[in-house]
Amino acid sequence: MLPPRQGPGGQHLLLLLVLLLPSLPPTRAPVPPGPAAALLQALGLRDAPQGAPRLRPVPPVMWRLFRRRDPQETRSGSRRMSPGVTLQPCHVEELGVAGNIVRHIPDRGAPTRASDPASAVGHCPEWTVVFDLSAVEPAERPSRARLELRFAAAAAPEGGWELSVSQAGQGMGAGPGPILLRQLVPALGPPVRAELLGTAWARNASWPHSLRLALALRPRTPAACARLAEASLLLVTLDPRLCHPLARPRRDAEPVLGGGPGGACRARRLYVSFREVGWHRWVIAPRGFLANYCQGQCALPVTLSGSGGPPALNHAVLRALMHATAPGAADLPCCVPARLSPISVLFFDNSDNVVLRQYEDMVVDECGCR
């Protein structure tokens, strides 16, 4: 049965409906990221810190950790490591814990904290410290959360001091929660350190957006009260997505200069400058790194070379042989990275925290035919 013919009025109605209906947006192919965005993805960062970070000194412990992890620093002068000593992957040797991300988080409650009032003996004030943990990813596993405090006192009382740490109340006028830990402090000259992991929160608990703690430091014998000068949190976490089970130490030999297509397959020198990608304001160290790249021919007899040349891979040898006998049957092997090594980057994040992260497979040390 044929459909009924539409008159001029019906055609006009259909045209009006077509014009009034919302049109679907045209489908667009995903735009590939630019060089800076691609490098951010390689570093495991969602976005670069915006604007210039607040200028503050880098804590000495963060410098020590960076210089120990950085291959160029460990091979230079007095920082040269003992022969046969290899840094373990995803492990912070100086702190003795597993991890590949170290954050130094300052106290955010310091600017709003009033000056310590004059207190009677035995009635010393309490302080509330706040640490921003919003940058910690859910996949990160904590291995150390060390509270570091600096106090100022006129004179040390006999018997030292007693430090107590409690969960701070959230609401206005809310008092502190139950005491999480107590520890004896013999003297206030060196920084006072307290381990919070397992006390402030469990090792398998989800990360809080912020950590608020109430601190009290009381003399064990009648004496003047101390003043809290500085508070910070040293947080070490392990991100298994950025961790490899085996260490691949970097060779002392550097790649050859030049980038011409001729010659055998080998690592060519390529330096990535953080200033060129606009990261020099928030990257503390290094200023750049030798990323390198692989280039060269994989024809016979290069693919069969032994010591002194690129590593020969069985599949690559077969492809090279087939290409030599029947060029149309198989293509030549490709020159690709065969050995990679990590780098460590010390930088400010969007919360002005000093962060040390180790990134695997960032430097091409050797190339091979595959």
Question: What is the pLDDT at residue 84?
Answer: 45
Instruction: Decide if 340 contacts 231 (C-beta within 8 A).
Output: no
- CA separation for the pair 78, 306 (Å, rounded): 36
Write the DSSP string, 185-235. Answer: ES-SSSPEEEE-BTTTB-TTSPPPSEEEEEEEEEESSS-PPPEEEEEEEEE
Domain annotation covers residue 163: yes
Domain annotation covers residue 248: no
Q: For the chain, what is the domain count? A: 2
Q: Are residues 272 and 356 in the same domain?
A: yes
Q: Are residues 185 and 225 in the same domain?
A: yes
Q: Is 288 helix (H, G, I), strand (E, B) or coil?
A: strand
Domain annotation covers residue 6: no
- CA separation for the pair 186, 61 (Å, rounded): 22
Whether the ω angle into residue 59 lies within 30 degrees of 0, i.e. cis, is: no
Tokens of 54: 């607040």
What are the pLDDT tens digits along the chain (370 aa)?
A: 444 444 554 444 333 333 333 443 444 444 455 666 666 665 556 676 665 566 678 999 999 999 887 755 444 333 444 444 455 778 888 889 999 899 999 998 866 565 555 454 457 888 999 999 988 888 888 999 999 999 987 677 788 889 999 988 765 555 677 888 999 998 888 899 999 988 766 666 667 788 999 999 988 888 778 889 999 999 999 988 877 655 455 554 556 655 555 678 889 999 988 888 778 888 899 999 888 999 888 876 655 554 445 555 566 666 666 666 666 666 677 888 988 888 889 988 877 889 999 888 889 998 888 7
Bridge partners, 195 (sequence order): 146
Q: Are residues 232 and 260 in the same domain?
A: no
Q: Are residues 260 and 363 in the same domain?
A: yes
Residues of the domain holding 169? 125-241
Domain annotation covers residue 308: no
Which amino acid type is present at position 337?
Answer: P
30-to-27, 33, 44, 360 alpha-carbon distances in Å: 9, 9, 20, 27
Q: Are residues 231 and 289 in the same domain?
A: no
pTM to 2 decimals? 0.72
Q: Are residues 262 and 165 in the same domain?
A: no
Domain annotation covers residue 294: yes
Q: Are residues 265 and 347 in the same domain?
A: yes
Question: What is the pLDDT at residue 297?
Answer: 82
Q: Are residues 131 and 191 in the same domain?
A: yes
Q: Taking Cα atoms as reference points, which of 126, 124, 169, 131 lies closest to residue 148?
A: 131
Question: What is the pLDDT at residue 158?
Answer: 81
Domain annotation covers residue 247: no
Q: How many residues does the chain have?
A: 370
Domain annotation covers residue 203: yes
What CATH code is carried by the domain that includes residue 347? 2.10.90.10
Q: Are residues 229 and 327 in the same domain?
A: no
Domain annotation covers residue 148: yes
Q: Which residues contact 322 (CB under 8 A, 6 or more apart)?
A: 329, 330
Q: What is the pLDDT of residues 97-139, one digit of tens each?
A: 999 899 999 998 866 565 555 454 457 888 999 999 988 888 8
Question: What is the pLDDT at residue 36?
Answer: 64
